[in-house]
Structure 1
Amino acid sequence: MKIDAVTYNRQKKKDVLKTDFNLTMPNFKKFSDKQKEDFYREFSTLIKAGVDFNQALVILTNQQKSKFIKSIYQTINEDVVKGKSLHEAIKNHKFFSPYEYYSIKIGEDTRRLPQIFDQLQKFYSRKIKMKRQVVSVLAYPVFVLVITFAVLYFMLNFVVPMFASVFQQFGKELPEITQFVVRVSDNFNLIVFSVLGVVISAIIGHKLLKENNAYKSITSKIILKIPYFGSLIKKIYLARFCQSFSLLLSAKTPLITALELTEKMISFYPLKSALSQAKKDILKGETLADSLKKHTFFTPKIISLTAIGEQINELDTMFDGLANQYNDEVDHSTKMIGTILEPLMIVLIGGIVGFIMIAMYSPMFNLSKIIEN
């Protein structure tokens, strides 16, 4: 069947337009933590059974119902078939983090890939568990805050103006608390838009400055000083550090290399900068425990156990135990958030409504005293 030149050119233009459209359209698809957990678990099982990379990826691809996930597996398989290592094939995808492809690189170098996959599967399993805990803990407070705002909006836009119109007929000076609530009611919409403007500006500013070291240093210090939550965030990153460091050391990675790779895996600035400085100190001849002691981010428990681990040459075992301890502490602290926040939310909404009601009724109490006298 022959195709004339005009038809061919039209088809070519359509293909170019379609390609351009696909390139300009943003990609909102995501390789979720649950899908990654399944990927590493199944990949580890297949490799332990003696299946090679190519066949394992083909099996995993055929199991997938999602075309998006299937395309990721196919691309990785194609790169592996072309001669790339697995970590290089995975590194080409933005859906994988430095923690993953550096860990896989170590697994390939030390021929401990199944163990690395098991560790990555456990990492994402813990991450999913933590997310679910946070969602379950914050669901109630967020719901209460929404209800609080709805009640506040209704009272300040409808109830308070109704009382204010009645108070104008008294001809008396209102109590300061009542004047304050009336002023807030008169300017409530302006206040709401101002708060929204500040929040939006803060989000935009964060997007623009998030790679700036000075900004990261300042914001991380503020985060760590938040009561209770700062301690929780610190424990989360200490658990990740101990888990990553244990994984690298158990794979017989040299200490300097392990610190360097862990630094690349960690995103929290205080911990990242501390690891960078610790690496320089060790190159000067200091022990790991002495180098960590210089940084307040590391707890006395980590420093003392690191010193013991260096003496008996069991650093990987020590950091594995520390990772388990901090993960348990994070689980407990996350559960405690719900226990603390629920009564606080009740006190908050009750306090706001009570404050407004007292402000509205106090002029009436004063008026009743005048009438009695």
Structure 2
Amino acid sequence: MPRYHFKGRNQQGEAVSGELEGASETAIAEQLLRRGIMPTALTEQKPGATNWQFSGSLLFAKQVSLEELVMFTRQMYALTKAGIPLLRSIHGLEENARSEALRRALATLKEDLGNGKPISVSMQAHPAVFSSLFIAIIHVGENTGNLESAFLQLTRYFELEMETRKRIKTALRYPSFVLMALAIAMTILNIFVIPTFANIFTRFGAELPWATKVLLATSHFFVSYWPLLLLGSALSIFGIRRWLNTPQGKMFWHRIQLRLPIVGSILLRSLMARFCRSFAMMLRSGIPINQALSLVADAVDNVFIAQYVREMRSGVERGESLLRTASGSQLFTPLVMQMIAVGEETGMVDQMIQEAAEYYEREVDYDLKTLTAKIEPILIVLVAVMVLILALGIFTPMWDMMRVFKGR
């Protein structure tokens, strides 16, 4: 009997792994589910075979975008609602998939469904395409016979997520263009403009003020050592990105993001809207609160907030109320805390959490609409400082030379 290596999460949301013997992956998955473990990966241990595979096409394959996930879940909802068999539906979607990763995943799903494996178990072999939250919703939909409702919930969730990201990108487009224009302008000034004025000042032997000396020194350093600057910038970017991929670096960066001026509060509200929306969807699907909190902690995409969410899960497992654990995290506003309290008293926690998500989304929408008005004064001050430095550094010695020339 073949032996399988599994990874998954138990009912407390903790990661577990091990090996089991079974007739097939489906049998192993059923064993794990009976034990209260939701499998996330199953790998058959073949004698003499390595546990890794390399595919050049997957290395350069385009990652599945949020738009493609929205299209996939919407199409699956329409097909399952119409009563079309899953195998036929996935076969049709596979032919029209634009992403190579999604196409390969659908091909595997089609093969596994033909062998009698549940779709949620097959999805666990593709964590890069289907997240743990995605798989959990599909698993519940399979067990309750409401697979079309599961796909509909995922469609609405991904659509709201995509809309929020588009609003953030739109709001940051203007300040990004201004900062890029300033960087290009400073590069042109240091390479072409300031060296020309440096030759003029040297020829006339004028006494230069401190601002001009700073500009000339900066331009000389930029022109003389630009290869080192490029190399240093590339190494710095590589080193920083490598450090940010470590648990300590990721925790530091995600914490700093929430403390950035102006943008930090918007990002915090956006993440809390994602948390509430995901949590409400999991509760509506019938997933227990502790398991839902574990899955939502991974879906938040911020390890700093995920740490507090896991602490909330630990409090719930100790028998504390959701309201008390939420107040201990100090992440929610008083209005949201009142919604959670009402939800626990009335037994409608999922509806109240959904109301909280809509509240945060309205706050984010308002903040994004006023973001440009908040950033514009900062950009104006930045441009004014640059113009002032250039005026003091270039035009002041030119005026001194004109006075000397007229005195002659």
TM-score under structure 1 normalisation? Answer: 0.83
The code of the aligned residue for 2:107 comes to Q
- Per-residue CA distance 1:267-303 (angstroms, 9 max, x = gap): 3112211111112122222111111212233333332
After TM superposition, give the deviation of residue 317 of structure 1 in Å.
0.4
CA distance in 2, matches of 1:311, 1:51: 42
- Per-residue CA distance 1:74-108 (angstroms, 9 max, x = gap): 32121122122212222222222222122222322
Distance change >3 Å, CA 89–CA 288, structure 1 → 2: same
Match of 1:248 in 2: 282
The answer to which of 100-109 and 236-245 deviates more is 100-109
After TM superposition, give the deviation of residue 246 of structure 1 in Å.
0.3
- Per-residue CA distance 1:35-60 (angstroms, 9 max, x = gap): 11111111112222222322322343
Distance change >3 Å, CA 71–CA 278, structure 1 → 2: closer
Question: Is the CA contact 1:217–1:269 (under 8 Å) kept in the aligned structure 2?
Answer: yes
Match of 1:3 in 2: none
Is 1:81 matched with 2:109? Answer: no
Match of 1:36 in 2: 69
After TM superposition, give the deviation of residue 25 of structure 1 in Å.
6.9
Question: Is the CA contact 2:140–2:286 (under 8 Å) kept in the aligned structure 1?
Answer: no
CA distance in 2, matches of 1:105, 1:269: 25
Distance change >3 Å, CA 276–CA 191, structure 1 → 2: farther
The code of the aligned residue for 1:38 comes to M
CA distance in 2, matches of 1:90, 1:353: 57
Match of 2:190 in 1: 156
User: Which residue of 308, 313, 337 maps to 2:342?
Assistant: 308
The code of the aligned residue for 2:322 comes to L
CA distance in 2, matches of 1:274, 1:236: 16
Question: Is the CA contact 2:137–2:285 (under 8 Å) kept in the aligned structure 1?
Answer: no
Choose between structure 1 and 2: higher helix proportion: 1
3-state SS of the aligned residue for 1:83? coil
After TM superposition, give the deviation of residue 190 of structure 1 in Å.
6.2
User: Which residue of 289, 304, 325 maps to 2:359?
Assistant: 325
After TM superposition, give the deviation of residue 319 of structure 1 in Å.
0.7
Distance change >3 Å, CA 31–CA 265, structure 1 → 2: same
CA distance in 2, matches of 1:345, 1:177: 22
User: Which residue of 62, 73, 78 maps to 1:45?
Assistant: 78
User: Which residue of 114, 119, 126 maps to 2:153?
Assistant: 119
- Per-residue CA distance 1:133-166 (angstroms, 9 max, x = gap): 3333333333333332332222222222222222
Match of 1:231 in 2: 265
Is 1:95 matched with 2:129? Answer: yes
**Structure 2: which 5+ residue stretches go unaligned?**
1-52
CA distance in 2, matches of 1:196, 1:325: 45
CA distance in 2, matches of 1:262, 1:201: 35
The code of the aligned residue for 2:277 comes to Q
CA distance in 1, matches of 2:55, 2:292: 40
CA distance in 2, matches of 1:235, 1:369: 59
Alignment of 1:267-346 (within 5 A): 267-341=301-375, 344-345=378-379
Question: Is the CA contact 1:152–1:353 (under 8 Å) kept in the aligned structure 2?
Answer: no
Alignment of 1:185-264 (within 5 A): 185-189=219-223, 196-197=230-231, 199-210=233-244, 212-264=246-298
CA distance in 2, matches of 1:184, 1:74: 57
The code of the aligned residue for 1:106 comes to V
Alignment of 1:19-30 (within 5 A): 23=56, 26-30=59-63
The answer to which of 275-284 and 223-232 deviates more is 275-284
Match of 1:175 in 2: 209
The answer to which of 37-46 and 87-96 deviates more is 87-96
Match of 1:7 in 2: none
The code of the aligned residue for 2:65 comes to S
The answer to which of 22-31 and 249-258 deviates more is 22-31
**Structure 1: which 5+ residue stretches go unaligned?**
1-19
Match of 1:4 in 2: none
Question: Is the CA contact 2:190–2:223 (under 8 Å) kept in the aligned structure 1?
Answer: no
3-state SS of the aligned residue for 2:84? coil
- Per-residue CA distance 1:5-25 (angstroms, 9 max, x = gap): xxxxxxxxxxxxxxx995487
After TM superposition, give the deviation of residue 323 of structure 1 in Å.
1.1
Higher relative contact order (CA 8 A, sep 6+): 1
Match of 1:61 in 2: 94
CA distance in 2, matches of 1:252, 1:21: 38
Work out the percentage of aligned pairs sharing the same amino acid. 26
After TM superposition, give the deviation of residue 186 of structure 1 in Å.
1.0
CA distance in 1, matches of 2:195, 2:124: 60
Question: Is the CA contact 1:110–1:251 (under 8 Å) kept in the aligned structure 2?
Answer: no
The code of the aligned residue for 1:29 comes to K
Choose between structure 1 and 2: higher strand proportion: 2
CA distance in 2, matches of 1:289, 1:28: 44
The code of the aligned residue for 2:327 comes to K
